Every structure is written in C-alpha cells, then in structure tokens.
Amino acid sequence: MDLLLVVLIAGFFALTSRLVALFEKLRGPR
Amino acid sequence: MTGNAILQLALYFVSLLALAWPLGTYMAHIYAGKVPVFVAWLRPVERAICRLAGVRGEDSMPWTRYAIALLVFNLLGTLAVFTLQRLQDILPVNPEGLGAPAADLAFNTAVSFATNTNWQAYSGESTMSHLTQMLGLGVQNFVSAATGMAVLVALARSFVNREATAIGNFWVDLLRSVLYILLPLSLALALALVSQGVVQTFDGRRTVELLEPVEFEQLSVCVWAEQAGNPLFDRLGVDAQASELQAGGNMEGKETRFGVVASALWATATTAASNGSVNAMHDSFTPLGGMVPMWLMQLGEVIFGGVGSGLYGMIVFALVAVFVAGLMIGRTPEYLGKKIEGFEVKMAAVAILVPPMLVLVGTAVAVVTDAGRSGIANPGAHGFSEVLYAFSSAGNNNGSAFAGLSANTPFYNILLGVAMLFARYWLIVPVLAIAGSLAAKKTVPAGSGTLPTHTPLFVLLLIGTVIVVGALTFLPALALGPVVEHLQMIGSR
C-alpha cells in the first residue's frame, strides 16, 4: 500500500510536469 | 444585530483594511530585494542559505523551469511528510507513544499539508506525534504557503517585465517569503497567543477545566440564518430567543463562549480566506447557514483566498472579465498594460474549470458508490451536503470540514487527496504559463479603447464574473443539498 501511494504521488507530479511541456508547446514559438 | 455584534464585525473589517496596505507595501519591497532596515539583519541568513543551496539570486528562470522547480520541491515535501508519518512510531518526540497512521491517512495528510489545504481526516493531536506536527505539518504550513506566494509574485512580475524570457527565481521567492514574511509574522502572532495562555509543550496531553461560558450575540446570510434558528425546535417549545442568558438561535454544534455571531463570522472568514480551521460544527448550521461557507469555497477561493493563491485566482478571473468586456466593446482586451490573447484566456479557462470539475465529479462518484455513501452520517439532502462540502473543501484547497462525514476511510482519504493535488498544481501550472506569456509581451500604453480596470464599474464586472461562473456551476448541486433541506425544514413547520 505504501509503495502504491508513493507511486501515485510521484506519478501525479510526473504527469503535471508533462502538462508544463504541453502548455509551453501550446504557447508556440515567440 | 446588537452593539456587541456590530463591534465584532467592524473590528474585523477595519483590521483587515488597515493591514492590507502596509503589509502589501512591505511584501513588494521584500520581493524587489529592497529589504527594510528592521529585518536587514536577516540578509546574511538569506545569503548563507542561498550559498549553501547553490542558488544564485540573479538567475531568473523561464516559467517552465520555475514550474519544474516548484513541482520538484513540492514532490519532495509530500514524500517527506508521508514518510515521517509512517515512521512516527519509531521516531523520537512521541511522548504518548502514538502509532503510525494508516497509509491512506498518511497520504491524505501529506498531500493536504503540501498543498496548503490543511484538511485533517484524523482527530487532532491524538494521531500525530509532536515530531510529525513540528517537522512535517508545521514546516509545510510555511513552505506550502510560500509556494503560493512565489506563484503570485511571479505572476505580478510578469505584468511589470517587458519582453522578458524569465519570471524570477523560484528558490529566492520561496526563501524570501518564509524568511522575511511568514516567520516574523508567525513569531509575533505566536507570542501573542502564548501571552493569552496558548502553549505547546513536549509533554503529553493534559486535561484542563473549560473557561466559563461567555455570552455573545449575533453577519450576512450566515448570521441571519443561524440566528433565526430551526423552526422545528420552535414547534417543540425550545426557547431559542436571544436573551441575557443565551445567544439564542441555532446553538447546536456551537460553543456558548462564541455564540452565533463569532461562529458565523469564523465560518465565513475561514471559507473566504482558505483558512481551514473551524470554531463550530458547520454540519450543525441551518441549511442556508451551512450553504454560505460551502458557496464561498465553490466561488474558487478568490474572496481573500489561500496564501498567494487567493490573489492569483482573482487575477485569473480579472483576465476573464477583461476578455468578456473586450468582446462586448470589440477591442483587444488589455490588463495592466499587457494584451490578453488566446493563450492567456485558454490558460485562465483551465484554471477556472479544474476546481468545479473536481468538486462535481468527486461528489458524483462518492454518492453513487457504496464506499462513498457509507461515510454519510445523515440520509437525504443533508448527507449530500456533507459530501459536497468535503469535495468543495478539497477541490478548492480550503481544508475546513463540515463534520458529519466519516472521511477517514481509504475511499475518501485517497479520492480527496487526489482532488487536493489536482486543485493545487493544475491551477499553479496554467497561472505560471500565463506569467511566462505575459512577461514576454511588450507593455501597451493605455489608449482611448482601453477598458479602465481601476473603476467601480470594472469591480462590478469582476464580481459579476466570479458569481456568474460560480452560480452557473454550482447552483444545481446546491439545489440538491442545502436548498432542498431548507425547503423541507420550512415545509414541515
């Protein structure tokens, strides 16, 4: 259970870091 | 309303308004690196910490780097608090020999404190050891608040910077928030509390005599609804009239020391300001009295809101308001000298839609599953309100609890924990993206087609935007909970 929850936390932050990359791509070239 | 009640409310609003300007000016100086003389002695401490951590203050980051630094810092914070709780039974400073909280509760609490929600699914000091409270929860109370302040200052900087690729240094903003703002304020306020007899010791629990009840009387709809009391009690002949002997109104779940006004004031302040603490059981409020704190959270925590997050949330609504006004007058929307274009509006839409989605989907999942329904204390409309309140609190990082709902179950601990994570970081990322985009723009001088954003008209438009978005999103859910309950109550008169 502990390992599963640690993976859930880490997975969420990894997903959110992908969101950063996605939004930067959406902003387009400056 | 009595003179005592008016005095309490007046003191609250006067202190709030009187503190805003000096504190705001002080904070602006700190973030600009102009440290005032009376805290200049902390400058060497700031430099030493930066040197130790390898942080160079002049190293301004693009929004993407700023966001990643923030995420890494918060990830480590969450994992640290989780681990600390799971190991508390073998760690020192645990005079009562408290066992480690269950894994799902440790997850929920770690997320709650790292996201500055401070939702507590456990009962107070009988679950967490002194070490967990000091090293885990106490530290997160500072750094999670400082994270919100760092995002706000990055956004504020983006309006000032012109054609810049960077929005500031996350580590410097974080450190300055803690060192110059939160620590001095906490120290002063802690001393004030200690002077009033509130102490924290390393001893175990101690039982003390309660204070003598003090009489208080009757804010807003919440005060009115609570003071009106419950008509069903009237029918039973219960005396709920305010008198020299009692505060009157609906006193269920309230302390006689506080009465209706101080309970209603705290309930509205704690949900408008994302404080999260309670001094009365919101579950025991009348249906309309309980709807007010719920509605304040559902408006997106922007009235005062969370530390930093309240103001950046309101700025997001301001961008939507200038966009709507721009559509009405047929001009390119501008805000504080920056053109608001498609990217900013898309990011604002993400930031505004994420919390309601978490609240409504979370509530829906809870009321259609056995695991969700088993936590409800009261059947019917009130039970629905209990679930809606819990998700409104988690989905807006408020942290206050309605009570009534048995939320310390694996189902609620994990679902509410996930809601808190999304509510925090899926707002911070679009807000930082807006900061990055605005910082890169030129400043446009105000012209005849610029909508002034410092007028009462714009203030009305902004309030209208917040309320219309909030109302359109939540009225149907509120109708199923507190509104039905109110109608049932008056219908059975």
pLDDT tens track for A8-28: 999 999 999 999 999 999 998
- Give the minimum alpha-carbon distance from A14 to chain B in angstroms, rounded to a whole number: 9
Give the mutation candidate from B73, B343, B425 for the A interface (greatest A CB count, under 10 A): B425
Entry pTM: 0.90
* B107: nearest CB among A5, A21, A30: A5
SS3 B254: coil
- Give the minimum alpha-carbon distance from B73 to chain A in angstroms, rounded to a whole number: 10
B290 phi-psi bin (left φ>0, alpha ψ -120 to 50, beta other): alpha
Q: HSE-up of B352 (CA within 13 Å, CB side)?
A: 23
Residue B176, exposed/middle/buried by CB under 10 A (0-12, 13-18, 19+)?
Answer: buried
Stretch 415-454 of chain B: residues touching chain A, C-beta under 8 Å: 418, 421-422, 425-426, 429-430, 432-433, 436-437, 440
Q: Do B325 and B451 meet the contact criterion of CB atoms below 8 Å apart?
A: yes
In the prediction, which pLDDT does B463 show?
93
- Which amino acid does the sequence have at B448? S
B351: contact with A, CB 8 A cutoff: no
How far apart are the C-alpha atoms of B323 and B333, rounded to whole Å? 5
Q: How many helices, marked H, and strands, marked E, lie in chain A?
A: 1, 0
Q: Do B414 and B406 meet the contact criterion of CB atoms below 8 Å apart?
A: no
Length of chain B: 493
Return the closest-CA partner of residue A14 out of B85, B151, B74: B74
Angle between helices B381-394 and B484-491 (to 10 degrees): 150
How far apart are the C-alpha atoms of B194 and B198, rounded to whole Å? 5
CA dihedral B390, B396, B401, B403 (to 10 degrees): -20
Length of chain A: 30
DSSP alpha helix (H) spans, B380-455: 381-394, 410-439
| Cβ <8 Å between B75 and A9 | yes
B104: contact with A, CB 8 A cutoff: yes
> CA torsion sign, B72 to B410 to B272 to B130?
negative
Residue with tokens 């600390």: B84
In the prediction, which pLDDT does B1 show?
62
Cβ-based neighbour number of residue B127 at 10 Å: 21
Cβ-based neighbour number of residue B309 at 10 Å: 29
A12 contacts in chain B (CB < 8 Å): 418, 421-422, 425
How far apart are the C-alpha atoms of B251 and B237, rounded to whole Å? 15
How far apart are the C-alpha atoms of B489 and B151, rounded to whole Å? 44
How far apart are the C-alpha atoms of B416 and B422, rounded to whole Å? 10
- Give the minimum alpha-carbon distance from A15 to chain B in angstroms, rounded to a whole number: 10
| Cβ <8 Å between A9 and B429 | no
- All residue ranges of chain B with pLDDT < 70 are 1-2, 208-220, 244-245, 493
In the prediction, which pLDDT does B212 show?
45
- Give the minimum alpha-carbon distance from A18 to chain B in angstroms, rounded to a whole number: 10
Q: Do B396 and B300 meet the contact criterion of CB atoms below 8 Å apart?
A: yes
B80: contact with A, CB 8 A cutoff: no
In the prediction, which pLDDT does B493 show?
59
Q: Is the pLDDT of residue A7 over 90?
A: yes
> CA torsion sign, B42 to B143 to A16 to B311?
negative
- Give the minimum alpha-carbon distance from A21 to chain B in angstroms, rounded to a whole number: 7
Give the mutation candidate from B71, B89, B424 for the A interface (greatest A CB count, under 10 A): B71
Q: What values do phi and psi take at B231, rounded to 5?
A: -60, -25
| Cβ <8 Å between A17 and B68 | yes
SS3 B243: coil
Q: Do B167 and B436 meet the contact criterion of CB atoms below 8 Å apart?
A: yes
Give the mutation candidate from A16, A17, A18, A26 for the B interface (greatest B CB count, under 10 A): A16
A16 contacts in chain B (CB < 8 Å): 71, 425-426, 429
| Cβ <8 Å between A6 and B79 | yes
